[in-house]
Structure 1
Amino acid sequence: MLFDIDGAAAYCYTGGKTFDPALPTVVFIHGAQNDHSVWALQSRYLAHHGYGVLAVDLPGHGRSKDEAKRSVEEMADWLLAVLDAAGVVQAALVGHSMGSLIALELSQRAPERVAKLALLGTAYPMKVSDALLNTSRANEQAAIDMVNIYSHSSMAQKPSCPGPGFSVMGGAQRLMQRMSALNPEQLFYTDFHACNAYANGEAAAQAVRCPTLFILGSKDMMTPAKATKLLTTAIPHGRVVQVDAGHSMMAEQPDAVLDALIAFLR
């Protein structure tokens, strides 16, 4: 599904169903160097079980056009414009990693538009090492390799994404490579710098009043559970669910993530 946002196409995957804004809406927001496809199982299931689904491609990612936004605040404003264009009055926001910061920021900017908030693989501050940022500028492929290793709990997950012979790590690497090919203007650096520079997370978290869910990977090296303490303290009513996975939990433990989301959205 395509919307026009400031003269540029914004793509949202609707889970194989025609989007109906009259249904309870769930908006999925991907992380750095990714697109909507990281939510393949979760978005499709919910779309076929009573929800209106919008799994966005952020600007400069996947099928969405325009340049990549350079800050979490700009991405939150863009996402609000997508909700307006889709005719969505209120939605549950589900964000992973960088997407969790976008969801958090939007919940402060327009709290009346956010019914529920699910933050996966989140942390604040979401600091990125100078070594990774510098590598992304000098050798983007090397940076992709580094993050791909850090984001997975093992080379071959058991159980893995439903599909015999499917390589979770290989699929993630190819997706990141595809994002670089679609947007050669140092997309990796732009995304990770935005995470590193975001400074409003604590204030945004303290303002959250809606039901909140944290889904954390017990083997996450990118955003380990201890890095989420500031957010879980600032949102004391938030429920925490831990899954046996690394940072790429939607692929490593898709059913566990989906089960947690289903229970939360009900």
Structure 2
Amino acid sequence: MTISAQMVMDLRKRTGVGMSKCKDALTEAGGDMEEAISILRKKGMASAVKKGGRETNEGVVGVAENSEVAYLVEVNVETDFVLQNDRFKEFLKNICDDALVSKPSSVEDFLQQKYSKNSALTIDEYRAETVHSLGENIQIKRLLDFKKSGDESLGIYSHMGGKIVCAVRIAGAGDQEALARDVAMHVAAEAPDYLKPEEIPADVLAKEEEIARSQIQGKPPEIMDKIVQGKLNAYKEQVCLLNQKFVKDSSSTVANYVVAEGKKAGKTLEVVEFVRWQIGE
């Protein structure tokens, strides 16, 4: 397989390893990006690598909420410039408000429903009108709802003008929105992949163990097992929200911080869900 310059650049962005080493790894992996990352990690050239890293479309994640539900709606555009256009901002607000009222279950359903401010148009036709007006392609990529309840708190944090939007649900009380938003801010900064270690797929852990063992060849078996376990624990701390050091208090994990805040309030609190949306994922 021919290894393109773009493939090498993408691997460099994801690993921080030099171009020549990235090209060698891609060649060895037959062009498979994930396998090339694994090769670099086994050679000790790259640490654990986050998902993604490729350049993607521009866009923004809009948010609308009321006392019953919150909606995230991602809209993609061709250029960052159009995001500052008042007509686009109006379009984003209108479709988020419509989603809040109609509560669609999918983008496909949403696009076919009537636009509330002009029943002669569907949402998709309203989108097409906006495309014609702005002269730039606009796509509603995805949407997600969070239903609210009295014994849970939902916190939403928007970063970089909606380039990254995170939502966190905390069970145990309905008055902890500020705490949930603090954890959502942490999610934006630290980008966890899973809520807790139990959610990590077995094949992912097996791959991490394989990489860890390849890095410490020649050690006695009992020593190797301890080192590997230590590396796996470090991996879990890196990718699991509850195991991560909390950005506002690095002396505590996210899980322990939330429990401690609950005790202060006389309640038992627990993070039960998080979502991190970044434009172009």
Q: Report the TM-score, using the length of structure 1 for normalisation.
A: 0.23
Greater relative contact order structure (CA < 8 Å, 6+ sep): 1
**Larger relative strand fraction:** 2
